[in-house]
Amino acid sequence: MREIVFDTETTGVNPATGDRMVEIGCVELVNRCPTGREFHAYYNPERSMPSEAEAVHGLSTIFLSDKPLFSDGCEALLDFIGDAPLIAHNAAFDFGFLNAELAHCGRDPVCLSRMICTLVLARSKHPGAKHSLDALCTRFGVDRSARVKHGALLDAQLLAQVYVELTGGRQIGLSLLAEASAAAAAGEAPVPTLRPSQRPVRPARAHAASLDELAAHAQFIAKIKEPLWASIPAS
């Protein structure tokens, strides 16, 4: 099963009032295992970057000024995500900006039936706990030391690890990885495969004590002075 974990960075919180997506990062999973394939892009939002947003992700108006428009790079993004389910943290936010950008360039929106929200999963699995990405990384032992500011690709990489833990842990990847192996055979990034054990198969051995062993045990017991069991009255 192929899935895409993604994250976006934006100029604000509401695409309906003119905020735009400026960065997207995507990580491919096959059978809940990262394949090594990723997609990352910055986009010129055709507007200035508010200082509040820049403080979150560090992307300035000057930095984004020479980046391509979303309309110029959307085909590569759509080719990468294909028809796979899309996983995001607070996914309604990221889907809202992605579909707003697609609408800007006359493309069909991504169907919301493909949306998987890790925030909803976390609230269901751990009610009452903290559910931010940082808190979930701490809960599951995911190293987030490189996360100084928000960044779409780094956050997608961290979220991919959190998503695996939220949906059963790393043992879920022991399902033969048939689809991942097919992807590797097609010339895509290599994925881990399971190797059969190389140890020789030995026949089962008898576990009952031999007569010699029983005799040796009896001799050993006879040497014990005042054994505890001798003081127990017979029933």
Q: Go through 155-176 and write b for each residue having 16 or more CB atoms within 10 A of its CB, e for each that does not.
A: bbbbbbbbbbbbeeeeeebeee
> Which residue type does 67 have?
K
Contact 133, 158 (CB under 8 A): yes
First to last CA, the chain: 64
Q: Assess whether 150 carries a catalytic annotation.
A: yes
Q: How far apart are CA 90 and CA 63, in angstroms?
A: 27
* Catalytic site residue from 89, 150, 207, 217: 150
Contact 18, 5 (CB under 8 A): no
Contact 52, 28 (CB under 8 A): no
Angle between the N-to-C axes of helices 118-125 and 152-166, in degrees from 0 to 180, rounded to the nearest 10: 40
Positions marked active-site: 150
